């Protein structure tokens, strides 16, 4: 019987190393938390797909108010986009550091990512206030409603990421995230962070840049 036990698929495939020790099996050989993040990101694709889809459904149908080209400032948004892209690099370096079990280095990269993300949110707040002063509010037009809600929810996702990264750095500081657990935990935060970054690349390309190609 023991030979059959050993050959049964899923047997002895390791254990979930994220504290969820309710069962010892790990059928796909992938940590639960990582699989959960991929499933969640699939769900998020539908979420942002609906938001961005609505923006284009209503594109050019506003009955008044400023047009996108009248309020967008490519200079400002390019700078903030560059910062967010750089934050994906620091995030990747943080994941790499946890694989090498260098937690203090990882913590520094995590904090750098959080600072870059927070700066991006700061740029977005400035951008929103500029738009409002130029006469584009949530209530002004279909463009106002779709633009502010779509980019607002993206900004909220970045904010959640910043809080998440801050928590991770606190957990590393007070020793609650040890070297064994850190690799997968930080990697999962990285998956989220890169996803939010990719969503912004889509928004920046299709919502901002395409507006100026005529």
Partner 1 sequence: MASVADFAQAQAPVYHQERPAKSGLVDWLTTVDHKKIGILYGTAGVFWLLIGGLEALLFRLQLAKPDQDLFIGTQYNGLVTMHATTMVFLAVMPMIAGFSNYFVPLMIGARDVAFPRLNAFSWYTFLFGSLVINASIVFAHFPAGGWTGYAPLSTRAYGNDGMDFWWAGLVLLAISSMVAGVNFVVTILNMRAPGMTLMRVPVLAWMMLVIQFLLAFSFPPIAVGLIFLAFDRTFGAVFYETAMGGDPHLWQHLFWLFGHPEVYVLILPSMGIVSEVLPVFARRPLFGQHAVIFSGVFIGFVGFGVWGHHMFTAGMGPIADAVFAATTAVIAIPTGVKIFNWLGTLWGGKLTFPVAMLFAISFIPMFTIGGLSGVMHANAPLDLQQHDSYFVVAHFHYVLVGGALQGLFSGIYFYFPKITGKMLSEALGKAHFWLFLIGMNMTFWPMHDLGNRGMPRRIYTYPADAGWNFDNLLATAGVFFMAAGTLIMVYNMLNSLKNGKEAGRDPWDANTLEWMTTSPPPAHNFDFTPVVFSERPLFDHKHTEDLAIPVPSEAEQIHMPSPSWKPLVVATGALLIIVGLLLFNVAPLLWLVSVAGALTVVVGIYQWVSEPV
Where does this chain bind partner 1 (CB under 8 A)? 1, 4-5, 8-12, 16, 19-28, 30, 32, 35-36, 39-40, 42-44, 46-47, 49-51, 54, 57-58, 61-63, 138-142, 144-146, 148-149, 153, 163, 167, 170-171, 176
- Identify each DSSP E strand in the chain by its residue range: none
Q: Give yes or no for a contact between 95 and 185, defined as CB atoms under 8 angstroms apart.
A: no
Token pair, residue 75, equals 């200079």
Which residue number, 38 or 126, has a Cβ lying nearer to partner 1?
38
Q: Give yes or no for a contact between 98 and 106, defined as CB atoms under 8 angstroms apart.
A: yes
How many CB atoms neighbour CB 69 within 10 A?
Answer: 11
Which residue number, 83 or 167, has a Cβ lying nearer to partner 1?
167
**Rounded-to-integer distance, Cα 69 and Cα 67, Å:** 6
Q: Whole-number minimum distance, CB 196 to partner 1, in Å?
A: 15
Q: Whole-number minimum distance, CB 180 to partner 1, in Å?
A: 15
Q: Whole-number minimum distance, CB 183 to partner 1, in Å?
A: 16
Which residue number, 95 or 142, has a Cβ lying nearer to partner 1?
142
Which residue number, 75 or 139, has a Cβ lying nearer to partner 1?
139
Which residue number, 23 or 213, has a Cβ lying nearer to partner 1?
23
Residue 16: how many CA atoms within 13 Å on its side-chain side? 15
Q: Whole-number minimum distance, CB 211 to partner 1, in Å?
A: 18
The residues, any chain, with a CB within 8 Å of residue 150's CB and separated by 6 or more, are 51, 52, 54, 55, 203, 207
């Amino acid at each position: 019987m023991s030979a059959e036990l050993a050959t049964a698929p899923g047997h002895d495939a390791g254990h979930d190393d994220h504290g969820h020790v309710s069962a010892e099996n790990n059928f796909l050989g992938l940590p639960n938390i990582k699989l959960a993040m991929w499933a969640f990101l699939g769900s998020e694709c539908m979420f942002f797909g609906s938001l961005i889809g609505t923006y284009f459904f209503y594109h050019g149908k506003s009955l008044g108010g400023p047009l996108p080209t009248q309020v967008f400032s490519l200079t400002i948004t390019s700078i903030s986009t560059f910062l967010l892209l750089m934050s994906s690099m620091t995030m990747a370096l943080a994941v790499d550091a946890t694989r090498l079990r260098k937690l203090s280095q990882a913590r520094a990269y995590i904090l750098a990512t959080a600072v870059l993300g927070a700066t991006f949110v700061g740029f977005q707040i400035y951008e929103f206030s500029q738009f409002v002063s130029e006469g584009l509010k949530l209530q002004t037009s279909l463009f106002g409603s779709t633009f502010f809600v779509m980019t607002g929810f993206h900004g909220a996702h970045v904010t959640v990421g910043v809080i998440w990264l801050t928590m991770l750095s606190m957990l590393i500081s007070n020793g609650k995230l040890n070297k064994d657990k850190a690799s997968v935990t930080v990697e999962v935060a990285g998956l989220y962070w890169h996803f939010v970054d990719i969503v912004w690349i889509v928004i920046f390309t299709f919502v901002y840049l395409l507006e100026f190609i005529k």
